[in-house]
């Protein structure tokens, strides 16, 4: 007789194997949450307690808030005006109201950021020492070094060059369209199609670069773009988190990504002869995604709103004789379109986060000192009752009767306090100059990727960390 004693243990092992395979991650996530919450909940017991989404393996919620911020901001509303997410094992408190933003900002000049923005080793190798992530004397030294090129007066001095370059760029668009789409049309043709994102990535980038390096030759631009392409290829790793949070794990299991990082760092070092690499990365490469995001949404939203587009054209033609002054003004329809597009389509739905050294009381929740706090920008810019019932609509005229001081805690665009965006004046000149010359020369419509075609929203590029508008435009020359 054969003994069947072995059947039971094998059966048990098989069942355990399948349970772990199917439910392992769920079990791990469920067990981890109470442990990390007990170790550090981020809030004091003496105040209201907070809830929030479940901790996810292996990064917490940091990847989803980066790559799918818009949907997550909507989904996480159910946790109330103050809630908690996790970055790795670190709690991060999210605030969503102007009152909380005002209270948090009261000591904003003194807010450090988390090392490597809580994203771990890989991002640290690229950006860890960048100005935006530093604090105290190190931050002051770098800001003092770079700020002179970006002040209001320095930006005004460069405005004529930016404006002329924008006109030159717009004149070359038919040529770019041929290269990009492979379409065959004659220069005499009035209309052609143009992929929005592809067509408007390089202009703001090289304008920012020219602010730092001075005028660049075509060869220098080509060299810089070659290094930039290597840098763009790295985004997928730092956004993914996981094993890229750890030097040891990345070296053990993803040698290709580490190799790419080393190659990029070598090329970038050669380009900048070894100085201040991380801040230059922040000024250029990181902001490539930011400023391209802003440009693509500005163009798309104006193009897709007939009466707003017409009002812009009328205003532009009325200002033909004083374009530089027109671009620098903030009481124009052009400027309102710029601000309104950043309001409804912020480049990041959650800020990267910073902490206060004192207890912060947000709606009864007492946040422990030195706990990362994030702003839900969509909640401030759109869901906030300040913006009224049609807050989701792109309606620049709403800004006509709002005082700038009232925007302070009801609009998040260039940041807060002394850590406000250093590039804001130059960036706004670059973006407005480009849009001005573009809509002055062409009537623009959306050919593919419009709201109607895509369902509820426009087609969005999901390849990087800012969700840029990615549609096909139809450009028709104006007479
Ligand atoms: C329209 C485009 C831009 C927008 C909407 C924007 C927005 C922002 C925001 C919101 C912050 C604060 C981030 C935070 O700490 O939470 C910031 C910081 C910063 N931005 Fe911009 N930015 C833009 C373009 C640029 C450009 C072109 C540059 C290049 C010089 C730049 C340089 C910086 C720097 C250096 C910081 C860090 C400042 C500090 O910590 O002292 N930005 N930006």
Tell me whether 0.90 is exceeded by the ipTM.
Answer: yes
pLDDT in the model for residue 332: 98
Residues near ligand 1 with C-beta < 6 Å?
131-132, 143, 150, 208, 282-283, 287, 290-291, 294, 342, 347, 351-352, 413-415, 419, 421-423, 427, 431
CATH code that applies to domain 129-352+392-477: 1.10.630.10
Alpha-carbon distances of 375 from 37, 338, 412, 423, 466, rounded to whole Å: 21, 21, 9, 21, 16
pLDDT in the model for residue 275: 46
Question: To test the ligand 1 pocket, which listed residue (423, 435, 467) has its Cβ within 8 A of the most ligand atoms?
Answer: 423
Distance, in Å, from the CA atom of 106 to the CA atom of 108, rounded to the nearest integer, reads 6
64 CA to centre of ligand 1 in angstroms: 22
For the chain, residues with pLDDT lower than 70 are 1-4, 6, 184-188, 271-277, 454-455
Alpha-carbon distances of 17 from 13, 21, 24, 56, 125, rounded to whole Å: 6, 6, 9, 21, 38
- Domain positions in the chain are 1-39, 129-352+392-477
423 CA to centre of ligand 1 in angstroms: 6
Q: What is the DSSP letter of 60?
A: B
Which residue, judged by its Cα, is nearest atom 2 of ligand 1? Answer: 291
Helices (H), 80-195: 98-105, 121-127, 136-146, 152-171, 173-181
pLDDT in tens, 134-182: 888 888 988 998 899 999 999 999 999 999 999 999 999 999 998 888 8
């Amino acid at each position: 007789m054969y003994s069947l004693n072995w059947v039971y243990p094998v059966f048990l092992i098989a069942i355990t194997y399948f349970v772990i395979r199917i439910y392992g991650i769920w079990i791990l996530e469920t067990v981890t949450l109470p442990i990390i919450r007990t170790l550090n909940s981020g809030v004091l017991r003496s105040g209201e307690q907070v809830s929030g989404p479940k901790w996810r393996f292996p990064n917490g919620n940091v990847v989803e808030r980066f790559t799918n911020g818009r949907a997550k901001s909507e989904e996480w509303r159910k946790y109330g005006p103050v809630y908690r997410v996790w970055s790795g094992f670190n709690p991060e408190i999210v605030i969503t109201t102007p009152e909380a933003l005002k209270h948090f900002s009261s000591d904003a000049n003194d807010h450090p950021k988390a090392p490597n923005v809580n994203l771990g080793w890989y991002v640290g190798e690229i950006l860890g020492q960048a100005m935006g992530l530093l604090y105290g004397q190190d931050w002051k030294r770098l800001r003092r070094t770079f700020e002179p090129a970006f002040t209001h007066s320095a930006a005004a001095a460069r405005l004529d060059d930016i404006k002329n370059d924008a006109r030159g760029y717009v004149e070359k668009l038919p040529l770019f369209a041929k290269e990009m789409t492979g379409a065959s049309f004659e220069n005499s043709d009035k209309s052609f199609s143009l992929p929005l994102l592809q067509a408007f990535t390089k202009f703001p980038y090289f304008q920012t670069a020219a602010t730092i390096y001075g005028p660049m030759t075509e060869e220098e631009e080509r060299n810089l773009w070659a290094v930039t392409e290597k840098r763009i290829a790295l985004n997928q790793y730092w956004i993914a988190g996981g094993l890229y949070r750890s030097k040891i794990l990345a070296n053990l299991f993803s040698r290709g990504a580490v190799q790419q990082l080393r190659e990029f760092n070598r090329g970038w070092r050669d380009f900048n002869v070894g100085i201040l690499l991380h801040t230059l990365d922040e000024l250029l490469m990181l902001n490539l995604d930011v400023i391209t995001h802003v440009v693509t949404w500005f163009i798309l939203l104006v193009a897709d709103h007939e009466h707003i587009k017409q009002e812009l054209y009328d205003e532009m033609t009325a200002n033909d004789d004083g374009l530089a002054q027109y671009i620098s003004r903030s009481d124009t329809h052009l400027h309102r379109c710029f601000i309104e597009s950043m309001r409804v389509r912020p480049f990041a739905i959650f800020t990267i986060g910073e902490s206060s050294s004192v207890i912060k009381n947000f709606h009864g929740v007492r946040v422990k000192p030195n706990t990362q706090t994030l702003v839900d920008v969509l909640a401030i810019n759109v869901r906030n009752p300040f913006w009224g019932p049609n807050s989701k609509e792109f309606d620049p005229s709403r800004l006509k009767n709002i005082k700038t001081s009232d925007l302070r805690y009801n609009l998040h665009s260039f940041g807060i306090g002394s850590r406000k965006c250093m590039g804001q004046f130059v960036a706004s000149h670059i973006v407005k100059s480009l849009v001005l010359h573009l809509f002055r020369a062409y009537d623009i419509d959306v050919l593919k990727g419009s709201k109607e075609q895509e369902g509820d929203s426009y087609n969005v590029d999901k390849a990087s960390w800012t969700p840029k508008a990615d549609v096909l435009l139809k450009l028709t020359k104006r007479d």
